[in-house]
Amino acid sequence: MKKVTMAEVAKHANVSKSTVSQYLNKRYDYMSKKTKQRIEQAIRELGYQPNFVARSLKQKKTSTIGVIVANILHTFSTQIIRAIEDVCHESDYHVIVCNADDDPDKEKKYIQMLMAKQVDGLIVFPTGGNINLYQSMVKEKFPLVFVDRIVSGLSVDTVILDNEAAAKLAVNHFIEKGYERIGIVTTSLIHNLTPRVERITGFIKAMEEHQMPIRDDYVRGMEVHLIKEGLREMYALDQPPQAILAGNDLALMEILTYAKENKITIPGQLALIGIDEVSFANIYNPPLTTVKQPVFQMGKKAAELLFRKIENPDPSGESRVHRFEPELIERESC
Amino acid sequence: MKKVTMAEVAKHANVSKSTVSQYLNKRYDYMSKKTKQRIEQAIRELGYQPNFVARSLKQKKTSTIGVIVANILHTFSTQIIRAIEDVCHESDYHVIVCNADDDPDKEKKYIQMLMAKQVDGLIVFPTGGNINLYQSMVKEKFPLVFVDRIVSGLSVDTVILDNEAAAKLAVNHFIEKGYERIGIVTTSLIHNLTPRVERITGFIKAMEEHQMPIRDDYVRGMEVHLIKEGLREMYALDQPPQAILAGNDLALMEILTYAKENKITIPGQLALIGIDEVSFANIYNPPLTTVKQPVFQMGKKAAELLFRKIENPDPSGESRVHRFEPELIERESC
DNA sequence: CTGTTAGCGCATTCAG
DNA sequence: CTGAATGCGCTAACAG
């Protein structure tokens, strides 16, 4: 493990450190051809690699951003991460990803860790449990973008799906296909997370618009491991639902498992639509009708918003919510 | 964006910087209660956050490792990454993930970038295209661990599946179930990547052990987008295979798609086993028999090997290949 | 127990 | 066109 420094390169090339520095930063304006070549040669011979850490310290810029997802088990999270990474790599930013695991304490720890590491900005899927921390970040004008969840009363740019529209798309499709007993199943609602709440709201609104009755029995938000039990209860009703909207990919997996275990045919006995695209939607038997989020654009937008904040900090601190439109991909499960 | 420094904390608490530094590094041994409290208070009042970058520069340690995967589209890659991240977060390391996209040039760029960023070590799924670079890293004793692929002639600890065993497990299962016309389909072999080559070798050996004939027609390695065409050719034979081993998850997806498009029933008309576990194996119709890699242990092992190298650099530079045993998960596709 | 001194490797004035 | 000087924020001896 060696460590060639700029000083050694300078000595080797018979120039001063600052000349080397200028060379590295492509300020060739007033540099003689000969000097340039000597430096190039010295760098090659010594195998010199600039030290980013030292540069970061000096420049107060690490060219690194942090991404904290609430729960990496969601396909959506991983897809967004990939989109962010793509954009960042193009712009020569590095990305450090952390998974808060739906735990506000972990989220807090990661935010502090990443700030201590002097990341230039943060994209977070907020758990919602650290309002004070978020607030202080806003106050200090730390570049911050939220994804997927709205934290009310806070001025932070937020990239999010039009969740109500997503649920409506699904409900309308169910109704078009002639289904009447329609339900929605999603993961736990106890934390009032935006997507889940909005999807339920959208579901209810869409049903009302069509004058369809809404049965509480058919509207369920439960922790993942309780979903199967919830489905059992629904199926124990005298009139179980004919169609179910899966609020997200995790809920979808549970419903699929339940259907398989209980030999419920899809779409014969149960019409199914999932919000969130899943890798196997196309090849499943039957292929799964899903409501797809424009993940790549959303990730890209989040990164771009962050870059803008990093590169020209807006003193006004204005922010807005950027909604993206979902799209129904009709396949055969409904 | 403020930036409270240690100096300000020191001034605020009426002590010197080094005392604060000692406090932060929990060297309380010879510190008076009062001083300690004053420092604590100053930190709280000022909202001081230590600057990792400065510390890293001084200590020549960033507590960050880099992971470069050859191709992040493989489930295996993402699973290993998750395992590595879990282990690292426990040990307070950060992880920067890069995707070389099977491109040696990208790989090279990322290796250099990460080393410039002074990561303490690197876990890489080598593309195999940068032997010289790998060699110079070894020579400089830069902490390095390879995953999934062996680079011959290089002394680097490597974590890898016993790929031959994986293929044998599958072949044996096919044979037990009475299949005779058995094939293997995997992604392109032109780069001689370890897993693919070894899986084919394992396949052939297992067939030979059972005195089964090996038809070249049934042994195919093709780029992902050509697999369907390859399958078409296999099915145009007078005797198409009755059983196919999918060499990895990408190949499996293609086979599944082809089967669906051509209404080939599984396992009725085609028995199928995939190497690599996929998220939907359990809920697919039929549930998919797979050969599973012990991903978590492999990721953990890779991280631990790297930590050991980082923490006590072994002057001998010895290294070995760490093989992990695959496991057949029998479901219903064979 | 606490303060002083010296860098880590680099970028940036500001004189030559 | 080039070099000397200064400091980013922190740690690490070494003195008190």
pLDDT, position B27: 64
Asked if B118 is an interface residue toward chain A (Cβ–Cβ < 8 A), one would say yes
pLDDT in tens, A72-94: 889 999 999 999 999 998 898 99
Ordered per-residue pLDDT tens for chain A, 334 residues: 557 888 888 888 888 777 888 887 776 666 677 788 888 888 888 888 889 999 999 988 999 999 999 988 899 999 999 999 999 988 989 999 999 989 999 999 999 999 999 999 999 999 989 999 999 999 988 999 999 999 999 999 999 999 999 999 999 999 999 999 999 999 988 888 999 999 999 999 999 999 999 999 999 999 999 999 999 999 999 999 999 999 999 999 999 999 999 999 999 999 999 999 999 999 999 999 999 999 999 999 999 999 999 988 777 778 899 999 999 999 999 9
| DSSP 3-state of A184 | strand
How close, in Å, is residue A17 to chain B by CA atoms? 18
Tell me the C-alpha distance between B26 and B20, whole Å: 10
Output b/e per residue, A37-62; b: 16+ Cβ within 10 A.
ebbeebbeebebbbbbbbbbbeeeeb
Residues 51-110 of A with CB under 8 A from B: 51-54, 56-57, 60, 62, 64, 72, 78, 82, 85, 89, 94-99
| Chain B residue nearest residue A282, CA to CA | B257
Contact A52 B256 (CB under 8 A): no
pLDDT at B3: 73
Distance in Å from C6's C1' to A4's CA comes to: 21
Q: Does B10 touch chain A (CB under 8 A)?
A: no
Full 3-state SS string of chain B: CCCCCHHHHHHHHCCCHHHHHHHHCCCCCCCCHHHHHHHHHHHHHHCCCCCHHHHHHHHCCCCEEEEEECCCCCHHHHHHHHHHHHHHHHCCCEEEEEECCCCHHHHHHHHHHHHHCCCCEEEECCCCCCHHHHHHHHHCCCCEEEECCCCCCCCCEEEEECHHHHHHHHHHHHHHCCCCCEEEEEECCCCCCHHHHHHHHHHHHHHHHCCCCCCHHHEEEECHHHHHHHHHHHHHCCCCCCEEEECCHHHHHHHHHHHHHCCCCCCCCCEEEEECCCCCCCCCCCCCEEEECCHHHHHHHHHHHHHHHHHCCCCCCCCCEEEECCEEECCCCC
- 8 Å CB contact between B147 and B80: yes
Residues 91-150 of A with CB under 7 A from strand C: none
Tell me the nearest-neighbour CA distance from A258 into chain B, angstroms: 9
A296 touching B (Cβ < 8 Å): no
> For strand B64-69 and strand A64-69, is the pairing parallel, antiparallel, or unpaired?
unpaired
Chain B interface, best mutation among A52, A84, A137, A277, by max B CB count within 10 A: A52
- Residues of chain A found within 8 Å of residue B313, distances taken between Cβ atoms: 1
- pLDDT, averaged per 10 consecutive residues of chain B (334 residues), comes to 78 81 71 78 85 90 94 90 92 91 93 93 95 92 95 95 98 96 94 93 97 94 96 95 97 96 95 96 95 97 95 81 98 96
Residues of A in contact with B50 (CB under 8 A): 116
Q: In DSSP terms, which residues pair with B94 in a beta bridge?
A: B64
User: Domains of chain B by range and CATH?
Assistant: 6-50 (no CATH), 62-160+296-324 (3.40.50.2300), 163-292 (3.40.50.2300)
Any residues with CB less than 8 A from the CB of A299 and at least 6 apart, and which? A79, A80, A81, A82, A83, A84, A86, A87
CA distance linking residue A236 with residue A246, whole number of Å: 19
Say what percent of chain A tops pLDDT 90: 73
- Using the Cβ of A262 and the Cβ atoms of chain B, whether some distance falls under 8 Å is answered with no
- B3 with A141: CB under 8 angstroms? no
- The alpha carbon of residue B61 is apart from the nearest alpha carbon of chain A, in Å, by 10
Of A54, A96, A284, the CB nearest to B57: A54
CB-CB under 8 Å, B82 with A78: no
Question: What are the beta bridge partners of residue A321?
Answer: A158
pLDDT for the residue numbered B28: 63
Question: Does any strand C atom come closer than 7 Å to the Cβ of A21?
Answer: yes
Task: Give tens-digit pLDDT for A220-275.
Answer: 999 999 999 999 999 999 999 999 999 999 999 999 999 999 999 999 999 999 99
pLDDT in the model for residue A2:
59
Q: Give the model's pLDDT for residue B26.
A: 67
Q: Are A123 and A303 in contact (CB under 8 A)?
A: yes
Residue A323 has a pLDDT of 98
